[in-house]
Amino acid sequence: MSKRAYLFPGQGSQSVGMGADLYESVPAARAVMDKANEILGFSLTDIMFGSGVAEDASPSAAEILTQTQNTQPALFVHSMAVFAAMKGRFDAPDMVAGHSLGEYSALCAAGALSFEDALRTVRLRGELMATAGEVRPGSMAAILNMEDADVETLCADVTAEGAGIVQAANYNSPGQIVISGDVDAVARAVALAPERGARRALLLPVSGAFHSPLMDFATEGLGKALAALSINTPSCPVFLNVTAAASTDPETIRQKLVEQLTAPVRWAQTLLAMQEAGATHFVEVGAGKVLSGLVKRTLSRETETSAYGTTADLNA
């Protein structure tokens, strides 16, 4: 029996205007976005849609949306608006996973977190991560066409040199790994990567060293928030970033959400585990089509994927 895996995107998938078409044409999606504005006490939809920001304004609408404290709730709300629009029209998921921030969307979709709790936590997470990036500046880089073990060795060698910490942060697909850490250490790893066999190594335009020990500042505040949160048993298995394994245990989920701040996102391993659990159709729910591409690169170009993020996608 074929199974459907729902995937929820994380930072990097955002774009100005996302969700505007859904807001105008799908009442269920509009209700989610209006509820988010009410909960937060400001218009998140204005940030998502770029409303009222002149083209030559500084900061631009794109820069405002890209601020971590805005990006995270915006992507979460967009995914949940799409998910609401899909209810009753598409089969429910047999399993779920989310990339970094997207793990909160996955947990909400599976009923483990309430929408209000997840939204407030995601907003706090974004604020804490943004502050962590100011307290201890870091950077990230993509390393292409290197084996996982070779990237890990590269990071360990650079860290041992004393330039700072650098580690694998996102195992996105075979041959696509993102590293994260201190600015000088990441720069050193980028410089060395081609000599170690990488086809390409490039710095990424991010505001902090996500999924590395440089995010330690954020763990205490997020941990306190998560400790006070009611987490329910999800309606289907949730594959967790930190372990790439399925869980339905609320306490395991709570613990791994804290660890996720400083631990790598094992996304390629997650997709393989979902396939092993019987997933044959991978459904991306939210902004962009990044995760669908990672499915094709990790599993097979023939793997069945769908991506829903706009009214046109839903009506196709």
Q: What H or E segment, with its residue span, contains residue 247?
A: strand 246-247
pLDDT of residue 291: 97
Separation between Cα atoms, residue 294 and residue 174, nearest integer Å: 9
- Is 99 labeled as catalytic in the residue annotation? no
- 136 pLDDT more than 80: yes
- Is 100 labeled as catalytic in the residue annotation? yes
In the chain, % of residues over pLDDT 70: 99
pLDDT of residue 207: 77
- 301 pLDDT more than 90: yes
Separation between Cα atoms, residue 184 and residue 165, nearest integer Å: 9
Q: Which residue has the tokens 């890990």?
A: 152
pLDDT digits 0-9 by tens, 99-108: 999 999 999 9
CA dist 240 → 6, 19, 170, 253 (Å): 13, 26, 13, 8
Confidence label for 267 from pLDDT (cuts 50, 70 and 90): very high
H helices, E strands: number in the chain: 14, 10
Confidence label for 206 from pLDDT (cuts 50, 70 and 90): confident
pLDDT digits 0-9 by tens, 165-185: 999 999 999 999 999 999 999
Q: Are 74 and 103 in contact (CB under 8 A)?
A: no
Q: 3-state SS of 193-213?
A: HHHHCCCEEEEECCCCCCCCH
Confidence label for 57 from pLDDT (cuts 50, 70 and 90): confident
Write down all domains in the chain, each with its CATH number in brackets. Answer: 3-134+214-315 (3.40.366.10), 138-207 (3.30.70.250)
- 250 pLDDT more than 80: yes
User: Looking at 79, 99, 139, 211, which residue is catalytic?
Assistant: 211
Q: What is the mean pLDDT of residues 140-158?
A: 97
Tell me whether strands 95-98 and 238-239 are parallel, antiparallel or unpaired.
parallel
Mean pLDDT of the chain: 96
| Cα 60 versus chain centre, distance | 23
Separation between Cα atoms, residue 264 and residue 14, nearest integer Å: 21
Sequence letter at residue 25: S
Q: What is the mean pLDDT of residues 56-62?
A: 84
Q: Are 254 and 227 in contact (CB under 8 A)?
A: yes
Q: What is the mean pLDDT of residues 32-52?
A: 95
| Beta-carbon contacts of residue 302 (< 8 Å; ≥ 6 apart) | none
User: Looking at 100, 105, 180, 292, which residue is catalytic?
Assistant: 100
Q: 3-state SS of 125-184?
A: HHHHHHHHHHHCCEEEEEEECCCHHHHHHHHHHHHHHCCCCEEEEEEEECCEEEEEEEHH
- CB neighbour class for 233 (10 Å; exposed up to 12, middle 13-18, buried from 19): exposed
Q: Which residue has the tokens 């870091």?
A: 138
pTM here is 0.96
Planar angle of CA 133, 245, 262, nearest 5 degrees: 15
pLDDT of residue 316: 82
Phi, psi of 278, rounded to the nearest 5 degrees: 110, 0
Q: Are 274 and 304 in contact (CB under 8 A)?
A: no
Separation between Cα atoms, residue 270 and residue 291, nearest integer Å: 12
- Answer positive or negative: Cα dihedral of 289, 295, 298, 304: negative
